[in-house]
Structure 1
Amino acid sequence: MTAPHDASGVHTVIGVDAGTASLREADHLVHDLMARLGLPPGTLACTHLVRTDERRGTAVSLALPDAGPAAEVWRRIAGLEMPGLGAALGALVYGPAPAARSAARVATEHAGREGGRAVVFPGAEHLTGTVTVADLLDRTAVERLTVIGAPASPDGPDPATPVLTRDHVRPEWQRGRLTLALVPAAGGALAPFEVPNPTPCCADHA
C-alpha cells in the first residue's frame, strides 16, 4: 500500500533548538511552534535527541511542504520571544552558536531522512482510537510498519489487523522511510511501541 501523503514532497527543513530537555518537552514545543509560526497543512515536524559535547537534550525540525513560505516562517522565528533560541534554515542561522549548530544538525538529519521522530505529520489526525493497518498506511504519511518481536515479513502486518493507537503515534525516519514500530497487543491487535508518558501529550492541541 502506498501512502497518499508523500513525504518526498518536502522541500524545506528548519531546525529549532529552544533548550528542551525531554522528548515530552519537545512534543510541546512542536505544537507551540505550529501555532505561533502559522505553519501550513502538510508540515512534518520531528523531535531529535541531541548528544554533543555542547548540548544534551532535544531539538525539533520542521519540514515545510512547499519552499514558498520559508522566508516568512523564518522572519516569524526571529520574532519569537524565546531566550536562547537557535534556528537554522540552509545557510541561514539564528541565535546563540551552540543552539544554532544543533538546529542545523537536526535539520540536516531530517532533510536526509536519517533520523527524527515525527510528532506532526500528514494524516496524523486520523490516528485516534483503533484503526486498521490498511487505514494507517493509506491515510497517513507513514510508509512502513515493523512489529517488534515478530518475524520480519516483506508484506508487513495483515492489512485488516487493528492498531490501538492510544492517541499517541510517533513514527521515525529509518532508512529513508517514515516507519512506525508496533508491538503485539491483546486480542491479536497491535499498538505503537512508544506509549504515552504519562498521558497523551498536548491533548489540548488536538
Structure 2
Amino acid sequence: MTSPHHASGVRPVIGVDAGTATLREADHLIHRLLDRLAAPEGVFACTHLLRTDERRGTTVSLAVPGPDADAVWQELVGMLPKDTGLALADRAHGPDDAVAGARLAAAAPPASGRAVAYPGAAHLTGTVTVADLLDRTAVERLVVLGAPDARLAPGTEVLTQDHVRPEWRDGVLTLALVPAAGGRLAPFEVPNPTPCCVDHA
C-alpha cells in the first residue's frame, strides 16, 4: 500500500541552474530556497551533477504539486539573481546557458537525482528503524551495498547521522546503505564532505 508520503503521480518539475559548483553548495541553495518560498508540503528537491562542454557543476530541481507550480515559479523568478536559469515545461527564464542547465535538471526526476528535501525527511534524525524509514518518508527502496538482495528486518536500526540523501533510480526513491557497528546500517553518503548548514538542521 502506498502511503501519503510516497512519490506517486506526476509533479511539475522546475529546474534551477544558479551556478553552484559542488553538492554542498547545491544543498545550501535548496535549503535557502525552501526557507524563503511559500512552498507546499510534498516538495521533492534534488541535486544533479552537470557535465556539459560549457560547464561543470551542479543544478537543482524542485518537483512540486501541480496546483502550486505557477506560484513557486513566480516566486523563484522574483527572488533569484538575473544570471540564474529557470525552466518549467516550455517556460524559461535567464541567460541561455543557464537555462540549458536548468532544462537538464527539470528533465531528470524521477529517472535520476539526489534528493535533499522530500516528504518525511524531517523524521530522519538520530536512529530510526527500517520500518519507520519506509513508512514515514517518501523513500521506497533500501539497498545495502555489497548485498543488493539482502532482506532487511523491519526493526533493523539505521544511524541517519541527520543526513539522508536517497536517489531516484528508475522512478523509485532509493537509499543506499552500508553496514555499521552493532548490526546496524547507515546511509552510504556521510555528512562530510557535503554537510548541511547547521541553521537548517
Q: State the TM-score bracket (shorter-chain normalisation).
A: over 0.9
Q: Could you report, residue by residue, the CA deviation over 1:127-170 in whole angstroms, capped at 9, with x for unpaired residues?
A: 000000010000000000000012514xx311111000000000
Q: Aligned-pair distance for 1:198?
A: 4.3
Residue in structure 2 matching 1:128, options 109, 125, 134: 125
1:157 and 1:73 mapped to 2: Cα distance? 38
Shift in Å at residue 36 of structure 1? Answer: 2.1
SS of aligned partner of 2:66? coil
Q: How many residues align?
A: 201
1:164, 1:189 within 8 Å by CA — same for their partners in 2? yes
Cα distance between partner residues in 2 of 1:70 and 1:106: 16
Identity of aligned residues (%): 65
- Alignment check: 8 A CA contact 1:3 1:143 kept: no
Q: What's 1:107 paired with?
A: 106
| CA distance in structure 1 between the aligned counterparts of 2:119 and 2:104, rounded to whole angstroms | 23
How far 1:81 moved relative to its partner? 4.1
Residue pair 2:43, 2:63 contacting (<8 A) in 1 also: yes
Query: Match of 2:168?
Result: 173
1:71-110 CA deviation, whole Å, 9 max, x = no partner?
Answer: 2211112112424200000000010111111111111111
Structure 1 counterpart of 2:179:
184
Alignment root-mean-square deviation, CA: 1.5
Conserved 8 A contact 1:182-1:193: yes
Aligned mates of 1:199, 1:115 — CA distance in 2: 19
| CA-CA distance at 1:55 after TM superposition | 1.3
How far off its partner does 1:9 sit? Answer: 3.2
Amino acid at match of 1:139: R
Where does structure 1 differ by over 4 angstroms across 4 or more consecutive aligned residues?
A: none
Residue 39 (structure 2) aligns with: 39
| Gap regions ≥5 residues in structure 1 | none
Following superposition of structure 1 onto structure 2, how do residues 80-159 of structure 1 map, counting pairs within 5 Å? 80-110=79-109, 113-153=110-150, 156-159=151-154
Aligned partners of 1:97 and 1:107: how far apart in 2?
Answer: 15
Output the CA distance in 1 between the equivalents of 2:14 and 2:148.
37
Corresponding residue for residue 48 of structure 1: 48
1:62 aligns to what SS in structure 2? strand
1:202 is the counterpart of 2:197: yes
Give me the TM-score of the superposition, normalised by structure 2: 0.95
CA distance in 2 between counterparts of 1:158 and 1:152 reads 13
Structure 1 window deviating more from structure 2 (10-19 vs 85-94): it is 10-19
Call closer, same or farther: CA 1:62–1:183 in 2, change over 3 Å.
Answer: same
The aligned residue for residue 15 of structure 2 is 15
Aligned partner of 2:69 in structure 1 is 70
Is contact 2:17–2:85 with CA below 8 Å preserved after alignment? yes
**Alpha-carbon distance in 2 for matches of 1:10, 1:24:** 28
* Deviation at residue 2 of structure 1 after TM alignment: 4.6
